[in-house]
Amino acid sequence: MAEVWARRLPLLGDVASAAVVLVAMVAVRLGSGNDTDASLPITLALSAVIAGSLAVRRRAPLAGYVVGTAGLAVEALWVGPGPLTPVANLIGVYSLGLYASPRRAGLGALLVPPGVLAYFAPKDDSSVVPVAVVFVWLLVWAAGYSTARRRRETEELRRLLRRETVVAERVRIARELHDVVGHSVNAMLVQAGAGRMVLDTDPDRTRELLMSVERTGRDALTELDRLLGVLRADDDLAAGGFDGSDGSDGSDGDETALDPGDLDQLVRPMADAGMDVRLRIEPETLTLPHALRLSVHRIVQEALTNALRHGHARSAEVTVRRQRWGNAVLVRVVDGGEGPPPQYRPGRGLRGISERAAALGGSVAHGPADDDGGFALSVELPLP
């Protein structure tokens, strides 16, 4: 109902304005006493046409201005120039520049000189006055046209902001799903493969691995459920109104997904998959802001997943510490795997890490750990 009234109010306002102008034009005409009884019906009809053209100045600005200017010319040449007719025409020419498309507004502006000359034709004014009036009319048209142009530019900017927000949200969702699903599924695959290898020879170990697969799967489902809950909350917020910003602060909006300081939960599935992960975490990093701790958690998660999946690493060392001479947190993950191939290109995982670091104003470096193999990832995240 509110939307219906929002569409109707401008039209009702235009109709009301047209009615006010019509009453004023008729009152001035009748009060002047210059019209004969024979010309009174024609005068009233022309006044209705001229004022009525203002009722469609938003919905059909070119047509309204053409009708209003035609009525002005007929009135001036057959009945006599009306005192308030230029006011109605001035409103129409401004509306033409404001509401018409650029092409239609340009076509309508061509009618300004003929309309003004027709109005001054019955008078004995010098040519200077009509030229000055044409100049003023075109200035008013230009004011409306420039206002419309700025409005179109503003709408285009808002549209681009909406599109950027949608793209940023898609990237965020893709990054979160990649981190949650990729890490868990890779760990489960390795655990299931190890269980298959010892199924006949070590049933107890197989049972442990299957329990680990179940635990990893449950953790992944829990985290996915929390992630989807956050996305639904974001959708509800977006439905309440758009403010032109994506609200990104580097936290990915995942305030409740996990305890970012608990990196041990990343080590357990890696250990079950056969990777020896050593953590070196300074206590000071456990009190960092939530957004920063969450980014550290996701970066370590992705680095360990890459080490297991691509590097087939059997060991890895994770270091998280504060920079001694600076205001930043340093994250370094070094694995003992096969190392990157020559001239390797970063995949989705490393690109996701770079995006997370960039969101916080940080930097990323990665490459071979040493001559014996392995892969090293170093991330520097500035403190807020």
Residue at 353: amino acid letter = I
Nearest to 207 by CA among 195, 197, 216, 194: 195
The pLDDT of residue 122: 80
Query: Is the predicted pLDDT of residue 136 greater than 80, yes or no?
Result: yes
Query: Is the predicted pLDDT of residue 336 greater than 90, yes or no?
Result: no
pLDDT tens readout for residues 56-82: 988 899 999 999 999 999 988 888 888
Query: Is the predicted pLDDT of residue 289 greater than 70, yes or no?
Result: yes
Cα distance between residue 154 and residue 32, in whole Å: 47
Predicted confidence band at 42 (pLDDT cuts at 50, 70, 90)? confident
121 contacts: CB under 8 Å, gap ≥ 6: 76, 77
Of the chain, the end-to-end C-alpha distance in Å amounts to 46
Cα distance between residue 115 and residue 200, in whole Å: 99
Contact 334, 375 (CB under 8 A): yes
Nearest to 365 by CA among 332, 340, 336, 339: 332
The pLDDT of residue 216: 75
Average pLDDT estimate for 100-114: 90
The pLDDT of residue 287: 79
The pLDDT of residue 98: 92
Q: Which CATH architecture has domain 258-384?
A: 2-Layer Sandwich (3.30)
DSSP letter assigned to residue 334? E
Query: Is the predicted pLDDT of residue 166 greater than 90, yes or no?
Result: no
Based on its alpha-carbon atoms, the radius of gyration of the chain, rounded to whole angstroms, reads 37
pLDDT tens readout for residues 147-157: 999 988 888 88
The pLDDT of residue 171: 72
Report the b/e string of 273-304 with b at 16+ CB within 10 A.
bbbebeeebeeebeebeebbbbbbbbbbbbbb
Average pLDDT estimate for 23-36: 74
Over the chain, what is the mean pLDDT? 79
Average pLDDT estimate for 44-66: 90
Angle at 366 between CA 363 and CA 368, to 5 degrees: 160
pLDDT tens readout for residues 176-220: 777 767 767 777 777 787 778 878 888 887 888 788 788 777 777
Is the pTM for the entire model greater than 0.85? no
The pLDDT of residue 313: 85
Phi, psi of 235 (to 5 degrees): -65, -40
The pLDDT of residue 309: 79
The pLDDT of residue 383: 85
Nearest to 337 by CA among 292, 372, 299: 372
Predicted confidence band at 1 (pLDDT cuts at 50, 70, 90)? low
pLDDT tens readout for residues 270-284: 777 778 889 888 887
pLDDT tens readout for residues 232-249: 555 554 444 434 334 444
Average pLDDT estimate for 250-257: 41
Phi, psi of 246 (to 5 degrees): -95, -5
What are the sequence ranges of the domains in the chain? 10-124, 258-384
